[in-house]
C-alpha cells in the first residue's frame, strides 16, 4: 500500500493535476471573476476527486463506473446552491482535470496534451476580448419591483437607470416576498 502512495507516476500525475487546476481555477477563473468561494470549492473538489479516482483506479473498477461516479457528483453539485453557467463550467473543468490526470491507463505525455488542450480551450473561449461586450453581476434588491415579472422592458430600463449602465438582460434568481427582496443576475454593457 505504501508503494502505491510513493508511485512516481501517481505523484507526477498529481503534480500535473495541481498545476493544471491552479492555472484553470486561479489563473483564469479567479483573475477574471474574483469569486473566492467558487475557487476554493473547485480546487478542493479537484483534489478530492483526484484522491477518490486514484484509489478507485488502484482497485478493480471500470472506467464506466468512474464516469458514473462523476455523473453522481455532478448531479449533487447541480442540486445544491444555484451557480452561474460560467461557474459550473469552471467547476466541471476542475473535476475533468482530476479525472484526466488520475486515470492510470493513459501515458503521461497524453495526459499533458489533453490537459493542455482543456486549459487552452478555457483560455480562448472565455477570454474577455472574445465576449467583452457584455458583463454580468449579481444584484440583490431591497424591494421587489412590481415590473420584475410583468414588464421586462420597464424593469430593464429601471435597472439601467439605477445601475448607470445599459442593461441588456436580467435573470431573476429569487424573489422573497416575506423580506421583500429580489436576487437578480444582471447582464450589461458599460
**Residue ranges per structural domain of the chain:** 2-125, 135-189
Q: What is the pLDDT of residues 70-114, one digit of tens each?
A: 666 666 555 556 666 677 778 778 878 887 887 777 788 888 888
pLDDT band at 69 (very low <50, low <70, confident <90, very high): low
Average pLDDT rounded to a whole number, residues 168-177: 88
The answer to whether 125 touches 75, Cβ cutoff 8 Å, is no
Range from 31-40, 77-86, 129-138 that averages highest in pLDDT: 31-40
| CA atoms lying within 13 Å on the CB side of residue 152 | 8
Whether the pLDDT of residue 1 is over 70: the answer is no
- Give the Cα separation of 31 and 109 in Å (integer): 28
Write down the pTM of the prediction: 0.54
Residue 40 pLDDT: 79
pLDDT tens-digit map of 38-66 = 777 788 778 877 776 776 665 565 666 66
pLDDT of residue 94: 81
Amino acid at each position: 500500500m505504501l508503494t502505491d502512495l510513493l508511485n512516481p507516476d501517481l505523484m507526477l500525475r498529481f503534480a500535473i493535476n495541481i498545476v493544471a487546476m491552479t492555472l484553470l481555477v486561479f489563473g483564469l477563473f479567479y483573475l477574471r471573476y474574483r469569486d473566492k468561494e467558487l475557487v476554493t470549492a473547485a480546487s478542493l473538489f479537484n483534489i478530492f476527486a483526484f484522491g477518490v479516482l486514484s484509489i478507485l483506479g488502484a482497485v478493480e473498477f471500470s472506467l464506466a463506473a468512474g464516469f458514473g461516479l462523476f455523473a453522481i457528483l455532478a448531479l449533487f453539485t447541480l442540486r445544491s446552491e444555484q451557480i452561474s453557467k460560467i461557474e459550473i463550467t469552471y467547476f466541471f473543468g476542475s473535476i475533468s482535470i482530476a479525472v484526466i490526470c488520475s486515470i492510470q491507463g493513459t501515458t503521461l505525455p497524453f495526459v499533458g496534451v489533453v490537459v493542455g488542450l482543456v486549459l487552452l480551450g478555457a483560455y480562448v473561449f472565455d477570454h474577455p476580448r472574445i465576449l467583452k461586450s457584455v458583463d454580468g453581476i449579481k444584484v440583490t434588491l431591497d424591494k421587489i419591483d412590481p415590473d420584475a415579472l410583468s414588464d421586462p422592458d420597464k424593469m430593464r430600463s429601471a435597472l439601467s437607470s439605477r445601475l448607470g449602465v445599459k442593461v441588456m438582460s436580467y435573470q431573476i434568481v429569487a424573489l422573497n416576498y416575506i423580506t421583500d427582496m429580489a436576487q437578480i443576475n444582471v447582464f450589461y454593457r458599460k
